[in-house]
Amino acid sequence: MFNFKTHNTSVKTEIIAGITTFLTMAYIIVVNPVILADGGVPFQQGFTATIIAAVVGSLCMALFANLPVAIAPGMGLNAYFAYSVVQANGNVDFKIAFSAVFVTGLLFLLLSLTKFRTKLIEAIPQSLKYAITAGIGLFIAFIGLRMSGVIADHPANLVGLGNLHSPSVILALVGLAITLVLMSLNINGALFIGMLITGIIAYFTGDLSFKDGITSMPQLPEGVIVWNPITAVSDVIKYGLYTVIFSFLLVTLFDTTGTLLGVTEQAGLMKNGKLPNAGRALLSDSISTTVGSMFGTSPTTAYIESSAGVAAGGRTGFTTLIVAGLFIIAAFFSPLIGAVSGVAAITAPSLIIVGSLMIGAVRHIDWEQFDEAFPAFLVILSMPLTSSIATGIALGFISYPLMKIARGKFRDIHPFIYVFAVLFLYQLVFLPH
C-alpha cells in the first residue's frame, strides 16, 4: 500500500521519521488548547478536539494521499479564532465562531474538488502571501511575550518590559534560553523537549503540580458543537461572519499548499514540478478542518514540521500513520497536558520561537519595489498592533491594488484582487472588526 521499495525506504525508517515528526509538532497539543481557551473553549474540549483533528487529517493524508505530511490545527489560525473572532466580538461566542469554521471546512472541501483553489492561490501576490505569514509570526510571538509576562501593560506606551524579577518571568526566560540552545544544536523536537525540561524545572520550583493525576479517558465536555450545515450557515449570516470565513480560507489555502509543496519537494516526491496526489492531500486537510470544527478546534493545516520527519528518511504515508498513532496515545494524557498548560512560562517560549520562524518569510518580499513592499509592510505591522490577523490582511489587500493602479500597473493585477479589496474595504467600514 505504501510502496516502500518504490520510495527507497523501509518500515524502520518510516517509524523513526514518524516519531521525529510527532516530537517536532507535539507542542500543538499543549499550545492549541491554551490559545482556544482564551476564546472561551473549555481546555478539555480544545485538547480532545485538537487530537481528533490531527488524527483524522493525518490518517487521511497517510491512507488517501500516501504523503509524509502531518496535519493538525494551525498556529495563527487558532490565534485569529480566539482573539480576532471571539474576543473582539462581544456577541460572538466560541460555539457561533465554530459555525464559521465548519462552513469554512465545507467550502474548503468544495474548493479542493475543483481547480478554483489553484487559481485563487495563483492570484494572490507573492509579497502578500509572505507578509501574511510574517505578520502572523509577529502576532504569535507577541502573544507569547504577553503570556509569559516578559511584556506587560504600560500606562504611556501601551506595552513595556515586564517585571524581570517575577518568578514566572524568570522561568519563561530560562525555558526560552533552553529551547533556543536546543534549536541552535538542531535537535529534533527542540520545542517539545524545551517544554519538557521547563516543566521539570517548574515542578521542582512548585509552579507545576499534578493534582488531577497524569492520565484519563478523553473527554468532550461540550459534546459535538456544530454538525448541521443549515444551522452553521444561518449563524454566519446572522452574525455577519463573512470576513471570518474569507480570512480562514485565505490563510489556509496557501499555507497548506505551500507546506505541501515545500515538504514534498524536500522528499523528492515532486514529479515534473507537480505534487503527486495533490487533490487527495488537499481533501485530507479539508476533511480535518471540517471534523475538527465539529468538536471544537480552529482550522487545520499541513505542518512544516513534517520536514523534520522527511529529513529522517520519511517518504510515504506510513510516516504520517505513525504520527496519527502517537496523537491517539497522547489523548489519554489530558490531566498532564492540562497541568502544563496552566503554567504560561512552559508554553510561551514555543509561541515566541514559532513566531521567529514565521517572520523569516520577509526575505522573499521585494523590498526594492515600493508598491510591493509597503502593502506587505502594512500587513506585517498591523497584525500585532491591532491584534487582528484579518485587519492586517484587509489593509494589505486594499493598499496593494491602490498602489498598482497609481503606478499604471492595474493590468498586472488579477481580477480576484480587486474583488478582495472591495470586500475588505466594505468590511472595515461597515462591519464590526
Helix axes 190-205, 167-184, angle to 10 degrees: 150
What's the pLDDT tens digit per position in 168-219? 999 999 999 999 999 999 887 788 889 899 999 999 999 898 888 899 999 9
pLDDT at 234: 96
Residue 73 near residue 54, CB atoms below 8 Å: yes
Long-range contacts of 399-406 (CB under 8 A, 24+ apart): 399/374, 399/375, 400/125, 400/127, 400/128, 400/371, 400/375, 403/370, 403/371, 403/374, 403/375, 404/371, 406/371
Task: Check residue 87 and report its DSSP letter.
Answer: I
- pLDDT at residue 432 is higher than 60: no
Model pLDDT, residue 3: 86
Distance between CA atoms of 66 and 7, rounded to whole angstroms? Answer: 11
192-203 residues labelled b (16+ CB within 10 A) or e (exposed): bbbbbbbbebbe
Using the 8-state DSSP alphabet, how is residue 298 labeled? P
CA distance 148 to 172: 6
pLDDT in tens, 362-419: 998 999 999 999 999 999 999 888 877 778 888 999 999 999 999 988 888 889 889 8
Q: Quick one: pLDDT band at residue 222, thresholds 50, 70, 90?
A: very high
Q: What does pTM read for this prediction? A: 0.78
Lowest mean pLDDT among 5-19, 107-121, 261-275, 363-377: 261-275
Give the C-alpha separation, 187 to 184, whole Å.
8
Q: Report the chain's mean pLDDT, rounded to a whole number.
A: 88
CA angle (239 as vertex; 285, 249 as ends), nearest 5 = 25
- State the pLDDT at residue 253: 75
* Residue 327 confidence (pLDDT) above 90: yes
**What are the extents of the domains in the chain?**
11-134+210-343, 363-430
pLDDT at residue 89 greater than cutoff 70: yes
Comparing CA positions, the residue from 354, 358, 402, 394 lying closest to residue 378 is 394
pLDDT: which is higher, 25 or 278: 25
Cell of 423: 470586500
CA distance 138 to 145: 10
Q: Using DSSP, state whether 152 is helix, strand or coil.
A: strand
Q: Check pLDDT > 70 for residue 121.
A: no
Q: Are 252 and 289 in contact (CB under 8 A)?
A: yes
- The tens digit of pLDDT for each residue in 234-291 reads 999 999 898 889 888 877 876 787 678 768 877 888 776 667 787 888 899 999 999 9
| pLDDT for residue 344 | 85
Give 321's contacts (C-beta < 8 A, 6+ positions apart).
18, 58, 59, 62, 63
